[in-house]
Amino acid sequence: MDVRHSPPPTDFALALFKAVCRAAGSRTLIDDLRRGLSRAGLVAAVRDHDNDRLFDWLVEAISYQGVSDAVAGAYMNAHGRVAAFDVATGLAAGPSCPKLTSYWQFESCGYHKGSGTCSEPDHARCCPVPSHDLRNGRLNQSAYATYLFFRDVTSHDLVGWIDRQLESASAAGGAGGGRRAALRQSLLGPMGQIYGVSNKVLSMALASLLLGADPGRPLWVETGASMIAIDTLVHNWLHRTGILAGLGCEHPYGPRCYGPNGCAGIIEAMSVRIDARQFNPDYPADFPRFVQKAIWWFCAQAGLNECNGNRVDDRAACGRDDCPIGALCARQPLRRAD
């Protein structure tokens, strides 16, 4: 690209965002989510305020953290999943550990599967936390922390709690990005404190639930539409295309993706300028989740498989001449060659 004739950085970024949405944006994103949630029983769970079913869904989603979906799924298929009934049964036995008294006291449980150690060794013999054969002790802790959150913070009614949180955030006023941020934070803030739950997994899970479970809850749909999950594919696309450099927002993948001038903020800012109704008239005009999913689908091997480490040498500028957005891309190496 001849920098003497390059467009301003925001226009350059916007052109790439529009191109990737045209190439990979789903026209049926919300309908697909609703069908999937219905098949999984989650539409009924939201309708019936079925806390146990929602617990099972969220804990399974958490189980996919840190490894490939294939590895996580294979382990659960071989060793079983932890369900709300299992945790409730363990707690009903009246374990002596003070960590299991409440959600707030469970902090720093410290259970480690490999060594069998924890922060309360005097109570380990009758503790239910290690009784579930999960992939690692962190997941055991997450399961109990999630159950205690559902019990103590939401009063066994996650659906009602979400309704109240969003109504309160909405009543506080505001508009545009500030309103969306307040709605998201009303859920992600408290739930993000659950032990072992990453921002990415929580955003992905809640976005799907809020967008697809009940179209009759407009605050759910509005909040879900604004939730953005940044994985390496999305971050690397923003780097390879030159968007991060052009906007002066270069950063390594990780927590900074959600910070000031991070990947999530860039996607949200660009989505304001992309009317998603051109892809489906029933979509909200400003639809950050749609934009983020388009980037992911463009890059993912399971999607269009256009921009990832299998197709592009990370040490060099992309040399492909058949990429649908290649004419716009700055072709930045992901990392410098040694």
Residue type, 186: S
**DSSP β-bridge partners for residue 117:** 112
pTM of the full predicted structure?
0.91
Per-residue pLDDT of the chain (338 residues; tens, 9 = 90+): 333 445 567 999 999 999 999 999 999 999 999 999 999 999 999 999 999 999 999 999 999 988 888 999 999 999 999 999 999 999 999 999 999 999 999 999 999 999 999 999 999 999 999 999 999 999 999 999 999 999 999 999 999 999 999 999 999 877 777 899 999 999 999 999 999 998 889 999 999 999 999 999 999 999 999 999 999 999 999 999 999 999 999 999 999 999 989 999 999 999 999 999 999 999 999 999 999 999 999 999 999 999 999 999 989 999 999 999 999 999 999 886 55
Among 322, 334, 331, 324, residue whose Cα is nearest residue 294: 324
Residues 22 and 49: beta-carbon distance below 8 Å: no
Query: What does the CA dihedral 89, 92, 95, 100 come to, rounded to 10 degrees?
Result: 90
Report the C-alpha gap between 213 and 111 in whole angstroms: 34
Q: Where are the domains of the chain?
A: 1-47+180-338, 51-153
- Asked if residues 206 and 227 have their Cβ atoms less than 8 Å apart, the reply is yes
- Write b or e for each residue in 272-284: b if 16 or more Cβ atoms lie within 10 A of its Cβ, otherwise e: eebebeebbeebb
Cα 66 vs. chain centroid, distance in angstroms? 13
Q: How many residues would you count in the chain?
A: 338
Q: Give the integer Cα–Cα distance in Å for 212 and 33.
A: 5
Q: Which one, of 202, 195, 189, lies nearest residue 109 by Cα? A: 195
CA distance 59 to 82: 8
Q: Tell me, what's the pLDDT at 2? A: 38
Give, as one character, the DSSP assignment of residue 217: -
pLDDT of residue 4: 41
pLDDT of residue 32: 97
